[in-house]
Amino acid sequence: MTQPINCRFQEVTLDDVASLKGVAAVFVGSDRKLDACARKANTLSRKAIERFVQSDCFDDMKSGEAARLAYPTGLAVEAMIVVKLDRKPSQEEARKAGAALAKEKGAMHLTALAGTLGAVDDVALGLILRDYDFSDHKTASPKLRGDATFMVSKPETHDASKIAAIAEGVFFTRDLTNEPANVLTTTEFADRLAEMQALGLKVEVLEEPELRKLGMGALLCVGQGSVSPSKVVIMQWHGGGDEAPFALVGKGVVFDTGGISIKPALGMEDMTMDMGGAGVVSGVMKTLALRKAKANVVGVVGIVENMPSGNAVRPGDVVTSMKGDKIEVVNTDAEGRLVLADVLWYTQERFKPVAMINLATLTGAIIVALGHENAGVFSNSDDLCGAFLKAAGAEGEGAWRMPISAAYDKLINCRIADMRNTGGSRDAGSITAAQFLARFVKDDTPWAHLDIAGVASVSGATTLAPAGATGWGVMALNRFISDNYEV
């Protein structure tokens, strides 16, 4: 698994600047004024920093961008990185600056001369998150990734362990989502989650015999065409009092061929990311455990593989959910909602949560609607939805509320069963999927469904992640739980 680089905070010692090794960084605002750290480095480098700051190149830089001055005279470092950042930056600007540092420092150890710079923790988090590199399956030696030291005026006010907890949760989600399906089988996925018991989580793995006994016919039908056994994994964190837990539920389809309703070959290799919802739930639970969150949270994920075979579920088959509702499977590629139907019901029956959010790479339709900038948010509770959107906005993780209503619900009514698993056309595809899930949410349970198909994994680099899995949602949900459920 990919480990975040170590990041530590120490008191500024200007006398050590000349002898620093690796690379160093200074921060200069748009007013071009040098702080004490930058002035010291500038004097030692015979005013190289001042000359750069007065140049057109610095003028052309945007806030949070960085430039590299190689082998500055008078300093032992191989490069001095000049970051354009005001003394009181926004969170977005600070994280962008950290990401810029990650790209400029390469494999070297970085010493960031931050002094009294504001939002330093966000600079550090941006640096760590952008320094991610998934290279488990490359034969070349892994890319060296140097650690970072932030010289600050008050190191005791910075919490490196909290930053590390968030980064480890995000990296765990990214690694799970990036893994190929022949590595991350249903069994391997469950085993990796079980290993988190060492962090203080209580982890249970429900196997197929128990799932049959529970009546999870919707979930089990998805995986019946695969040789990999279907599983449900329950992760519990008890950090609060005696109150009922908040629940996170995730879709974990380790590979989705579409089943008998098979997908086109072009792009099918990307369906290793169809367990992204379960990946986010897992990453959040890891972060909560690492930072010892003072809340009760349960994460429940349904882990299956959707394959075509002589035993696969067919279009037109009718299956019975744990709730007891009968579902006509009109499209076997609308499988994620079948998995979630049973896991949502199980979570409510067993844990009676105070509220519940599920995550799933559920529909291509949400990408048509929102692209790759925002997840779709569907909810039966204005309060729950508003609180999540606030947390997502605070973390810079795009999310947009979408509608649900009885007018859409009629599209999944069925002639021969209680419902069918799709609306039968391209119209309102993400909404009809949400309407399907809503039938498995009890009236008294505040609930939100996050369709993350467009944001879980992307083809190009983002500000805080290289191409591939983003880890979207870990930071937003961690903040949401911190703001709303911690005692």
Domain ranges for the chain, please list them: 7-155, 165-484
**329-354 pLDDT, tens per residue?**
999 999 999 999 999 999 999 999 99
User: pLDDT digits over 124-152, tens only?
Assistant: 999 999 999 998 898 886 666 889 999 99
Q: Please state, rounded to an integer, the average pLDDT across all residues of the chain.
A: 97
pLDDT of residue 30: 96
Q: Find all residues with CB under 8 Å of 350, minimum gap 6, and list them.
A: none
Tokens of 260: 């008998």
Mean pLDDT of 27-33: 97
Q: Give which of 339, 468, 475, 336 is closest to 398, Cα–Cα.
A: 475
Task: Report d(CA 110, CA 81) in Å as an integer.
Answer: 10
- For helices 382-394 and 474-484, the axis angle rounded to 10 degrees is 120
Which residue among the candidates 84, 130, 145, 337 is catalytic per the annotation?
Answer: 337
Average the pLDDT over 387-395 and give the result. Answer: 98
- Distance between CA atoms of residues 343 and 338, nearest Å: 9
> What is the C-alpha separation between 96 and 196, in angstroms, rounded?
31
Q: What is the mean pLDDT of residues 167-183?
A: 98
**Average pLDDT value for residue range 200-219:** 98
For domain 7-155, say whether CATH 3.40.220.10 is its number.
yes
Q: Does 40 qualify as catalytic in the annotation?
A: no
Residue 77 per-residue DSSP state: S
In CATH, the number for domain 165-484 is 3.40.630.10
The yes-or-no answer on residue 479 being catalytic is no
Answer yes or no: are the C-beta atoms of 367 and 257 closer than 8 Å.
no
- Count CB-CB contacts under 10 A for residue 182: 10
Q: Are 78 and 20 in contact (CB under 8 A)?
A: no
With 0.95 as the threshold, say if the pTM is over it. yes
Q: What is the pLDDT of residue 386?
A: 98
Here the tokens at position 268 are 């099918």
Catalytic residue among 192, 263, 390, 401: 263
Contact 479, 412 (CB under 8 A): no
Amino acid 117: pLDDT:
97
pLDDT category at 475 given cuts 50, 70, 90 is: very high
> What is the separation of C-alpha 182 from the centre of its chain, rounded to a whole number of angstroms?
22
